[in-house]
Amino acid sequence: MEPPATDSKACSQPEFNQTPLICGLPDDIALFCLARVTRRYHTVLKCVSKRWRDLVCSEQWRSYRQKHNLDETWIYALCRDKILDQVCCYVLDPKSGRRCWKLIQGFPACSVKRKGMAFQTLGKKVYLLGGCGWSQDATTEVYCYDASSNTWSEAAPLPTARCGASAVSSHVYVVVYEPLSGTWQHADAVMASGWHGPAVAVDGTLYVLDQSSGTKLMKWQKETQEWVAIGRLSPLLTRPPCQLVAIGKNIFVIGKGLSTVVFDVGNAGNVEGIMLSSSIPNLTSDDDVISCESLSI
């Protein structure tokens, strides 16, 4: 009697021989349970087994959490220590009971002295692009930080070297993208004239932090085509120059030493023109904030 034919495809897929994620449960049910664990405990999940670690670090994990509205957004900040003149990276969990900025270890050694690096997020990774130094020309090097595995690695280089802005101009150009028509157009003179500082969009509304005299939040009113002042931020809490990050209806104003002010634009009250907000403890150092980005897992 001949043995039954073997399905070569089944043999090539090792997951059929893997132990279940949770003993006694199908993997889809196990994933349903595990994906609901708060992001700050994902490090603990990775310590359980190699399979759990691989799952938590996978794109499948991130996609599943996003699909079921389980993803949580953290803020990443690229800073420069003015005393040591070194670049470093911090992370903030906005929903943590004890909100505080934490240093990300393992920052690429060859990038700590560079200036003019771009700082961007894509998927579950944070990218450092290009940069230069006093004795170093602009570079094509790219490094990425995987937020799932908490590791830095070198990525594919840029096609051309870059450091800071690609061109220097005495003029500021503001362009607006119209998603319905899929076209870019120059902003009108009124919008451009009031655009002083970092900007974020919340529910389709543009907000700009004007730091020309203190810190004042401005909103672009589409109906009347004008900038409207929402209110000023307390000078006791903000330390310009600041960067902006939006998560949901909350805007985070992040300044020197990672001093952080948070307010809800959907319920932005103020007292005598000063906006009501909560704050997050800053660092003991006086680091400059180069750039801030958010990343969801």
Going 92 to 198 to 144 to 257, the CA torsion angle's sign is negative
- Look at residue 38 and tell me whether its pLDDT is greater than 70: yes
Distances (CA, A) of 34 to 23, 195, 237, 297: 13, 44, 38, 13
Q: Rounded to 5, what percent of the chain is helix, strand, coil?
A: 20, 35, 45
Q: Do the beta carbons of residue 90 and residue 79 sit within 8 Å?
A: yes
Residue 118 to residues 122, 156, 209, Cα–Cα distance (Å): 13, 15, 21
Could you tell me the pLDDT band of residue 73, with boundaries at 50, 70 and 90? very high
**Interval 86-130: pLDDT, tens:** 999 999 999 988 889 999 999 999 999 999 999 999 999 999 999
Give the chain's mean pLDDT.
87
Distance between CA 171 and CA 167 in Å, rounded?
Answer: 11
Q: Calculate the alpha carbon distances from 137 to 79, 128, 162, 163 in Å.
A: 21, 16, 9, 8
**Strand pairing partners for 132?**
115
The pairing of beta strand 260-264 with beta strand 278-280:
antiparallel
Give tens-digit pLDDT for 55-70. Answer: 999 999 999 999 999 9
Is-contact 258 101, C-beta < 8 A?
yes
Q: Is 75 helix (H, G, I), strand (E, B) or coil?
A: strand
Task: Kindly report, residue by residue over 228-240, the tens digit of the pLDDT.
Answer: 999 999 888 899 9
Cα gap 164→172, rounded to integer Å: 16
Cβ proximity of 155 and 144 under 8 Å: yes
260-265 contacts, C-beta under 8 A, 24 or more apart: 260/92, 260/101, 261/233, 261/234, 261/237, 262/94, 265/202, 265/205, 265/207, 265/219, 265/230
Per-residue pLDDT, 179:
67
pLDDT, tens digit, for every residue of 159-182?
999 998 533 334 445 666 666 776
Write out the two tokens for 268.
């932005």
Residues 6 or more apart whose Cβ sits within 8 Å of residue 210: 194, 196, 197, 216, 217, 218
What's residue 258's pLDDT? 96
CB atoms closer than 10 angstroms to residue 237: 19
Q: Residue length, the chain?
A: 297
Q: How far apart are CA 121 and CA 127, in angstroms?
A: 6
